Amino acid sequence: MKDKKAINIVLGLLKQFSEGRLVSLNREQRQSAQIVRYYNEIIRFWSKLNFVIKKTLRSLKLATEVNHQENAIYLYATYRCMFEAAPIRSILDELNISNESIKIRDFLNKILTFSWKTALEGKSKQEKLSIEEAIPSFFIESLVPVISFNFLKENIKHMNDIKKQSDFTVRFNDLSGETPKIDLIERIITSLESKGVILVQDQEIAELYHVSSNNKSTLIKNDWYQKGNLIIQDKASAIIVKALDPKPNELICDMCAAPGMKTSLIAQYTGNRSKIIAGEYLPDRTYLLRDVLDRLNVQNKSLITTDSIEFPLRFEEHFDRVLLDAPCTGSGTFLANPELKWRQSEKFLHQNVTLQKKLLGKAIKILKPNGILVFSTCSLYQEEGEKQLLDLQDKLIPLDLQEWCSPSYEINGSKIPGTGRLFPSIHSTQGFFIGKFKKKE
């Protein structure tokens, strides 16, 4: 049975999103699986659901322009009917709508006869993909020049299928001072297994372990997690730090550091024996970064609230290694962040590309000669990856990435050495671009 209070909250959130307002679920809402699920999944298929709604209203000779509250009701009803095959009586009850309400009842009955074959007749394959998979046409048009249509379709389907998030990755934090490390790991694994939580080691990143999403709440409540000995770490972010390959006694800059998972992994790889300068633009995120790193016992770090384009250093050529995991469109993260789909545009891309170019210029300036730079974005666009490096090849020497990374896109008929990509359909991660270079003398 659906929680009607939760449904009303979902309708309110959908109304806000429809109005173009910023939607942020509060802590209580995030703890409701029903609210999170229906809000995220309806947003995920926003354009597809609205396409069906308008087609159906038109076929009933009803006005297709409805107010935001009505549209929220139609969205929820259409999702329940089409995606979950819920009975009309149940949907009406969940929405507190009388069965005698002819308009919504007729709407749902008409949905049952909806024909995708008829609705998509005469449309191009790109238009069909955009409608069926609820993906902005801008996203498709931007990627068709660099990857095949079928491969693009595979990745889009992967990013739309919440079942692909069947597990998540964790790592052990051995900065707690508890030794020896192997004993700590064995104790944590044994403790979790006694509660039915099984950890499976990742094939590429030995420090990471996969855990079923069904066990996430159990793991979060576990004492080892609460104490900071066990950390949820996204695999793609771990791969970036692995590429950076930090060493003890080095001076390392993490230019866009919050929330701090990558920074803490740098400290772990170096046994807290490197000096880390971590920058973050927003004060609130800097406080979050501080709290995370303190909880995980990361030492020898200095946190700066700063615009990293103007990193506040007295000298240039200062760091042994620089990690720039730059702000981007998030076009590779739709599985976890469906709202980002509907921000994709030429303007949004240009804003991020301009910011990245400035950050890259600064990253090279603050890096020592022969220092190592890793540049990454959680984007599938060539503009936020390969093309950012075209004008920098005279300053940088390409270095090898992990062999299991996919090749980067060809630009002007050739690939840029030192770069690679992670694709959702191949690596079961977010879509990522990674570049690794040494600064020339």
What the block records as the tokens of 27 is: 């802590």
At 79 the pLDDT is: 98
Query: Which single residue is written with the structure tokens 């979050």?
Result: 288
Please indicate, yes or no, whether residues 243 and 305 belong to a single structural domain of this protein: yes
Residue 206 within a domain: yes
List strand residue ranges (DSSP E) for 144-186, in order: 167-172
Residue 293 within a domain: yes
Q: Which of 120-129, 245-254, 310-319 has the lowest mean pLDDT?
A: 310-319
Structure confidence at residue 300 as a pLDDT band (50, 70, 90): very high
Q: What are phi and psi of 208, to 5 degrees?
A: -100, 145
Please list the alpha-helical segments (H only) found in 194-344: 216-221, 223-226, 235-244, 261-269, 283-295
Please indicate, yes or no, whether residues 86 and 211 belong to a single structural domain of this protein: no
Q: Are 57 and 78 in contact (CB under 8 A)?
A: no
Please indicate, yes or no, whether residues 311 and 352 belong to a single structural domain of this protein: yes
At 91 the pLDDT is: 94
Its pTM stands at: 0.93
The alpha carbon of 83 is separated from its chain's Cα centroid by a whole number of angstroms, namely 24
Q: Are 218 and 195 in contact (CB under 8 A)?
A: yes
At 161 the pLDDT is: 92
At 101 the pLDDT is: 63
Q: Which CATH number characterizes residue 188's domain?
A: 3.30.70.1170
Name the domain boundary from 232, 261, 289: 232
Whole-angstrom Cα distance, residue 97 to residue 94?
8
pLDDT tops 60 at residue 411 = yes
Please indicate, yes or no, whether residues 242 and 227 belong to a single structural domain of this protein: no
Instruction: Give the burial string for 334-359 (b: 16+ CB within 10 Å, else e).
Output: bbebbbbbeebeeebbeebbebbeeb
List, for residues 136-169, the tens digit of each pLDDT value.
999 999 999 999 999 999 999 999 998 877 899 9
Please indicate, yes or no, whether residues 254 and 385 belong to a single structural domain of this protein: yes
Residue 402 within a domain: yes
Please indicate, yes or no, whether residues 220 and 259 belong to a single structural domain of this protein: no
CA-based nearest residue to 323, from 354, 277, 292: 277
CA dihedral (280, 282, 287, 289) positive or negative: negative
Residue 386 within a domain: yes
Q: Which CATH number characterizes residue 333's domain?
A: 3.40.50.150
Distances (CA, A) of 366 to 307, 311, 377: 14, 8, 20
Name the domain boundary from 95, 119, 143: 119
pLDDT tops 80 at residue 315 = no
pLDDT tops 60 at residue 7 = yes
List, for residues 20-56, the tens digit of each pLDDT value.
998 989 989 998 989 999 999 999 999 999 999 999 9
What 3-state class would DSSP assign to 233? coil
Which residues, at least 6 apart from 101, have a Cβ–Cβ distance to it below 8 Å?
Answer: 92
Residue 138 within a domain: no
CA angle 313, 316, 317 (to 5 degrees): 130
Which residues, at least 6 apart from 311, have a Cβ–Cβ distance to it below 8 Å?
Answer: 253, 255, 279, 304, 362, 366
DSSP state of 389: G
pLDDT tops 80 at residue 182 = no
Please indicate, yes or no, whether residues 299 and 412 belong to a single structural domain of this protein: yes
Name the domain boundary from 232, 265, 283: 232
List, for residues 61-106, the tens digit of each pLDDT value.
988 889 999 999 999 999 999 999 999 999 999 998 875 566 888 9
Please indicate, yes or no, whether residues 339 and 244 belong to a single structural domain of this protein: yes
Query: Which single residue is written with the structure tokens 């004060």?
Result: 283
The Cβ of residue 292 has, within 10 Å, a number of other Cβ atoms equal to 19
Q: Please give the average per-residue pLDDT across 431-435, as a whole number.
A: 97
Structure confidence at residue 227 as a pLDDT band (50, 70, 90): confident
List, for residues 317-355, the tens digit of each pLDDT value.
899 999 999 999 999 999 999 999 999 999 999 999 999
Please indicate, yes or no, whether residues 227 and 241 belong to a single structural domain of this protein: no
Whole-angstrom Cα distance, residue 246 to residue 254?
11
Q: Are 431 and 379 in contact (CB under 8 A)?
A: yes
Residue 148 within a domain: no
- Count up the domains in the chain and report the number: 3
pLDDT tops 90 at residue 316 = no
The Cβ of residue 388 has, within 10 Å, a number of other Cβ atoms equal to 22
What 3-state class would DSSP assign to 9? helix
Average pLDDT of every residue of the chain: 93
What the block records as the tokens of 266 is: 């740098």
**Residues that are catalytic:** 378
pLDDT tops 80 at residue 295 = yes
Residue 88 within a domain: yes
Which residues, at least 6 apart from 58, have a Cβ–Cβ distance to it below 8 Å?
Answer: 64
Please indicate, yes or no, whether residues 310 and 432 belong to a single structural domain of this protein: yes
At 124 the pLDDT is: 96
Structural domain range at position 186: 166-232
Q: Please give the average per-residue pLDDT across 402-420, as a whole number.
A: 93
Please indicate, yes or no, whether residues 202 and 248 belong to a single structural domain of this protein: no
CA-based nearest residue to 419, from 438, 431, 429, 405: 405
Query: In degrees to the nearest 10, what's the CA dihedral of 176, 177, 180, 183?
Result: -30
Please indicate, yes or no, whether residues 325 and 180 belong to a single structural domain of this protein: no
Residue 129 within a domain: no
